[in-house]
Amino acid sequence: MANHIGCASLKAPFQYLGLLVGQNMYRISIWKDIVAKVVARLYKWKVALVSSGMGDFSVSSTRSFIDLKSLPSSPSSTNWCKLVPINVNVFAWRLALDKLPTWSNLANRGLDVLSIQCPLCDSDIENIDHLFFNCHLSKVPYLQVSIWWNLDDIVIDSFDDWVSWFAFFRIYGEAKSWLEGVFFSLWWHIWDFENAQIFANSGPRAAVLFDNFVTQTFYWCMTRANKNINWVGWLQNPQLAICS
């Protein structure tokens, strides 16, 4: 049959992608070559990691390593905020690198999407700068944060704007890391809200977005800071509540 359809039959074992295939794979000795290749690959990766001066394999060092190796010229950077969960930090990191699956990013990668317009306002292309900084949905929470934290009006049109604004923003050290957690959390909640609007049968109302975000951020930050913050103080004057 193999000859009839033009395929020569092979005698087992034969080499495929550098590995022997077709032997009795239940025998441990058959796996030795495969294991050796995998170990060699891992060893190379480990040597590269150690030589980069980040050989402790912590989450932050691995993240720095990936930053260093894959994105050496990226103008955007984020800190790792200890006051919010890891998945929120990863999310903020992906936002910084424009790696979120926005409709415009999906279209750029060749996916056949129905529209790249923002599904919340339908007035602009849905990319990270629009969704997180310019859409009417996201403009309101920034105004609310500035009132809540007693800040001057936050005028930000892009993630890079936010990085510059936050880098030079003067605030008591401990409160600044909490404020960073507030922004990470805000972005997470905007994304979550948009996805609920698109994929859930009945998404949440925009009016509850800010309330949910303030409440969730309170529990995230207080738990991770291991600090007892007064809930009313958090709502009325978070800088004072954190620093007192």
Interface with Zn ion (CB under 5 A): 118, 120-121, 135
H-helix segments, the chain? 32-51, 59-70, 86-96, 103-108, 128-129, 136-148, 159-168, 173-199, 206-225, 231-236, 238-243
Minimum distance, C-beta of residue 120 to Zn ion, in the bound complex (Å)? 4
Q: Structure tokens of 150? A: 């007693």
Nearest CB to Zn ion, comparing residues 33 and 157? 157
Nearest CB to Zn ion, comparing residues 144 and 215? 144
Minimum distance, C-beta of residue 234 to Zn ion, in the bound complex (Å)? 29
Say how far apart CA 169 and CA 38 lie, in whole Å.
Answer: 47
83 and 227 in contact (C-beta within 8 Å)?
no
Minimum distance, C-beta of residue 126 to Zn ion, in the bound complex (Å)? 7
**DSSP string covering 212-231:** HHHHHHHHHHHHHHT----H
Minimum distance, C-beta of residue 191 to Zn ion, in the bound complex (Å)? 13
Minimum distance, C-beta of residue 217 to Zn ion, in the bound complex (Å)? 23
Q: Is the peptide bond before 72 cis (omega within 30 degrees of 0)?
A: no
Nearest CB to Zn ion, comparing residues 84 and 189? 189
Nearest CB to Zn ion, comparing residues 118 and 209? 118
Q: What is the DSSP letter of 203?
A: P
174 and 82 in contact (C-beta within 8 Å)?
no
Nearest CB to Zn ion, comparing residues 118 and 190? 118
